Amino acid sequence: MTKYASLLFISGLAFFLMVITGFLPIGNSPMLVGNAILDSAKDQVGAANVVTSVVLAYRGLDTLGELSILFAAASVVGLVLTKSSFNKSPKEIEKPARIESEDSGFVAINAIDLIFPLLLVVGMYIITHGHLTPGGGFQGGVILAIAFSMRNIVRPKQKSVDHGVVTFIEAFAGLSFIVIGLVALFSQGNFLQPMLDQGQFGSLWSAGTIPLLYLAVGLKVGAELAGLILALNTDEVND
C-alpha cells in the first residue's frame, strides 16, 4: 500500500518538475556571477581551469569546510567501527580477531603490482595539472587512495598502508592548506587569496599558490579515503 502511495507521489512530483523544466531558459543560464568570474579569473588567479579558480580562490573557504566535513566523516567512521577503543589507552586495545583472508591468485596480484606505479603516476599527474586540465586534488586523491587500497585487497595479510603514516600525511596536508591561507590573509588581506608570481599563463609552473593548495587537497583526500577504505575493510567489527 505504501508503495502505491509513494509511486503516486513520485509521479506527481515528476510531472511538476517536468513542467517547471519546460519553462526553464535552457542554454541561457540567468546566473551572472559565472560571467563575472569568467571575465576576471584569468587576470586575478592566473589558472587556465576556471573551475579550479572557483574552487580554490573564489570559494577557497568553502573548500576548507568541505575538507573538514570529509575529515569529520572519516573520523566518525573510525570511531563507529572501533567503539571499544573509546575509553582505553592505545596500549590496552585488543586487536580484533581478524579472519585471515587468503591472498588473491597469481593473476590479480601481478596485475595490481603492474598497475600500481601507473596509478600513482596518473594520480599525481591529475593533482599537479589541476589548474590546467579537468581534474585536480579531489579526483587525483581518489586515484591515489584506490591504488593503495587495491594492494591491500589482493594481499590482506600484508599491510600496505601504515595507519600512522596515513594520519601524518593527512594532518600535514590539512595544516599546510590552512597555513597557506593564513599567510595570504596576513600578506594580502584575504584568506586564501592567490599569492606568488602567476608565471606564464597555461604552463605547469603558473597560478602562484593554486597548485600547492591542490597538492595539499590531493594528499589529504587520498590519505582520508585510504583510511576510510581500510576502516571499512576490516573483517570483524569491534564490539
Partner 1 sequence: MMNVTIEGLLYFGAISLSLIGLFGLLASNNVFRMLLALVMFEAGANLILVLSGFRENGIAPIFLGDNAGAVMNDPVPQALVLTAIVIGVGIQALALALIFRVKKHYGTLDMGIIRSKLEVEIADQAGVAAPGSNQAPEVVDVTGEAK
Q: Which residues bind partner 1 (CB under 8 A)?
A: 2-3, 6-7, 9-10, 13-14, 17-18, 21-22, 24, 26-29, 31, 33-35, 37-38, 41-42, 48-51, 53-55, 59, 62-63, 66, 69-70, 72-74, 76-77, 80-81, 83, 132-134, 138, 201-202, 221, 225, 228, 231-232, 237, 239
Helix (H, G, I), strand (E, B) or coil at 104: coil
Of residues 98, 85, 72, 229, the one with CA closest to residue 161? 229
Work out how close the CB of 13 gets to partner 1 at its nearest, in angstroms, rounded to a whole number.
Answer: 6
Question: Which residues 6+ apart lie within 8 Å of 98 measured at CB?
Answer: 234, 235, 236
Using CA atoms, how far apart are residues 125 and 142, in angstroms rounded to an integer? 13
Work out how close the CB of 115 gets to partner 1 at its nearest, in angstroms, rounded to a whole number.
Answer: 22
Cβ(66)–Cβ(53) under 8 Å? no
Tell me whether residue 59 or residue 119 sits nearer to partner 1 (CB atom): 59
Tell me whether residue 31 or residue 107 sits nearer to partner 1 (CB atom): 31
Phi-psi region of 44 (alpha: psi -120 to 50; beta: other; left: phi over 0): alpha
Work out how close the CB of 34 gets to partner 1 at its nearest, in angstroms, rounded to a whole number.
Answer: 3
Tell me whether residue 145 or residue 180 sits nearer to partner 1 (CB atom): 145
Tell me whether residue 38 or residue 204 sits nearer to partner 1 (CB atom): 38
CA-based radius of gyration for the chain = 23
Work out how close the CB of 117 gets to partner 1 at its nearest, in angstroms, rounded to a whole number.
Answer: 25
Work out how close the CB of 8 gets to partner 1 at its nearest, in angstroms, rounded to a whole number.
Answer: 11
Of residues 144, 115, 112, the one with CA closest to residue 128? 144
Work out how close the CB of 65 gets to partner 1 at its nearest, in angstroms, rounded to a whole number.
Answer: 9
Tell me whether residue 178 or residue 231 sits nearer to partner 1 (CB atom): 231
Tell me whether residue 52 or residue 209 sits nearer to partner 1 (CB atom): 52
- Cα 198 to the center of its chain, rounded Å: 25
Of residues 220, 217, 234, the one with CA closest to residue 78? 234
Of residues 43, 70, 67, the one with CA closest to residue 55? 67
